[in-house]
A and B are shown apart, each in its own frame.
Chain A
């Protein structure tokens, strides 16, 4: 997947400026940036939810439908139907992508530790359970690429561990993902490459290794200071 000079304007505001990036199959990327830097907007463009104002998206198989088929998305909103049960939600989304594999759904529910509540309505679920189910939903159709917009947001320690382990498994299985997170430890442990986005531009890039990452972290902190954000 390649982004070539992608710019995006929303409500007369330039949100993304000339973004160039490449996302290889199986590659895991952390997208780091302050609030309002353009991380979620970039993910929405990649998810085909927003059309860029200018620039080119070059899809791996050249068609948008094929890209959509290969893509799983976890956004802050879960896309789940409260009136349906966990398993009904997964079945619906799997069929939407042309699949029908009950075993896959059962194994996903087990992976996110929701097998016991598979037949309960999503409306009764806590935020953590919804978030885990949302990740399972994104994986029903064996996507090769995943977009994860702050998947740890609002999760307790145990839910966080479950999601982290799942992402590590996906990384081993060579499922590529872009992870938006404010937590630099997550970026370091779960991703191979990190991109720093500031005011809609990618301003720094680093491998997530012990040697390379500290200077990236410094750059991130200086961006936060410039934008008057607290640095922890």
Chain B
């Protein structure tokens, strides 16, 4: 119960600070939209080749906007060294992780809600083959990516080169997630391809479980300086 209360406390604080500052979410959304439009213009969305490029075009702006979020993620905690204030408190640090994960994921979902419709506006085929699969993929993909993002951003917090360290740590570990997201998005968008859906879906679910559960238990230990 205490764990849930602390998780909600961290979440509401993050949302309140962001609601007041409006800098992080706004920059993420604008960045994703601009990048989405630029990609569509660059690749000429009406061509057949778009079938192969489409999943990447959908995901790239979301992933990079999320990365932008991670790089700015620490600024709230670095302000007046507030992170130290949390570290010396008696809370289970797993609640810090979960609160941050839910908050950051909400921001990424807002990015998806604005970026994905823009993607379909430009696409030759305006409706996906399976909207359900697409939504599930977007939800799971976003949760998994934010999970490793929050995990490593918090661990890199005390480093002076956080912004360099975070992508270096995240991208190699995110490869299986990217692969699953791209494959499942392709299956969701176009009717012709549909093999191996359940394997990729299982991989995505397993990835999410792994990177949600492990940090929950490791956080207390890892944040001991």
B9, closest chain A residue (CB): A95
Contact partner of A75 among B2, B13, B81, CB < 8 A? B81
Structural contact, A96 and B86, CB atoms closer than 8 A? yes
Which of A79-87, A103-111, A197-205 lies at the binding interface?
A79-87
Question: A79 to B17, Cβ gap below 8 A?
Answer: no
Contacts of B17 in A (CB 8 A): 81, 83-84
Q: List 15 A-B contacts (CB under 8 A).
A: A51-B225, A66-B90, A73-B85, A77-B80, A79-B80, A80-B82, A82-B79, A83-B21, A84-B20, A92-B13, A95-B6, A96-B91, A97-B90, A98-B2, A137-B85
* A49 x B82 contact (CB < 8 A): no
| A96–chain B nearest beta-carbon distance, Å | 5
Contact A65 B16 (CB under 8 A): no
Residues from chain A with Cβ under 8 Å of B85 in the complex? 73, 79, 93, 137
Within the complex, the shortest CB–CB distance from B12 to chain A, in Å, comes to 9
Which bucket holds chain B's interface residue count?
A: 20 to 34
- Which A residues are CB-close (under 8 A) to B89? 68, 93, 96-97
Whether A49 touches B84, Cβ cut-off 8 Å, given contacts A68-B90, A84-B16, A97-B89, is: yes
Decide: A81 and B88 in contact? CB cutoff 8 A.
no
Partner of A96 from B9, B20, B84 at Cβ < 8 Å:
B9
Residues of chain B in range 2-33 having any CB-CB distance to chain A below 8 Å: 2, 5-6, 9, 13, 16-17, 20-21
Known contacts: A50-B225, A82-B79, A97-B90. The answer to whether A88 contacts B16 by CB under 8 A is yes
Number of cross-chain contacts by CB at 8 Å: 69
Cβ–Cβ < 8 Å partners of A84 in chain B: 13, 16-17, 20
Nearest CB on B from A103, distance (A) = 20
The answer to whether A96 and B6 touch (CB under 8 A), given A47-B88, A77-B80, is: yes
B116 within 8 Å of A (CB atoms): no
Given contacts A50-B225, A82-B79, A88-B16, contact A77 B91 (CB under 8 A): no
Q: For chain A residues 88-130, which have a beta carbon within 8 Å of chain B?
A: 88, 92-93, 95-98, 121, 130
- Taken residue by residue from 18 to 55, chain A's Cβ proximity to chain B (1 for < 8 Å, 0 otherwise) reads as 00000000000000000000000000000111110000
User: Which residues of chain B have C-beta atoms less than 8 A from A83's C-beta?
Assistant: 16-17, 20-21
Residues in B88-102 with C-beta less than 8 Å from chain A = 88-91
- B48 interface residue per 8 A CB criterion: no
Closest to B224 in A: A51
Instruction: Give A81 to B89 CA distance when docked, in angstroms.
Output: 16
B87 at the binding interface (Cβ < 8 Å): yes
Chain A residue numbers with a CB within 8 Å of B13 are: 81, 84, 92
Interface string of A58-81 (1 = CB under 8 A from B): 000000011011010101011111
Q: How far is the CA of A97 from the CA of B89 in the complex (A)?
A: 7
A48 x B5 contact (CB < 8 A): no
Closest to B81 in A: A77
Q: How far is the CA of A95 from the CA of B6 in the complex (A)?
A: 8
Residues of A within 8 Å of B20, CB to CB, are: 83-84, 121
Task: Provide the residues of chain A in CB contact with B79, threshold 8 Å.
Answer: 81-82
Given A77-B80, A79-B80, A84-B16: A71 touches B9 (CB 8 Å cut-off): no
In the bound assembly, the distance between CA atoms of A66 and B5 in angstroms comes to 18
Instruction: Give which listed residue, B16, B80, B86, B90, contacts A80 with CB less than 8 A.
Output: B80
Residue of chain A at shortest CB distance from B96: A96
Alpha-carbon distance A93/B85, docked complex (angstroms):
8
Q: Indicate if the CB atoms of A48 and B88 lie closer than 8 Å.
A: yes
Measured between beta carbons, the chain B residues less than 8 angstroms from A73 are 85, 88
Closest-by-CB residue of A relative to B16 is: A84
Are A75 and B9 within 8 A (Cβ)? Answer: no
Given contacts A49-B88, A65-B90, contact A81 B21 (CB under 8 A): no
Residue of A nearest to B23 (CB): A83
Contact partner of B87 (CB less than 8 A), chosen from A49, A66, A81, A137, is A49
> What distance in Å separates the Cβ of A214 from its nearest Cβ neighbour in chain B?
36
Query: A78 to B81, alpha carbons, bound, how many Å?
Result: 7
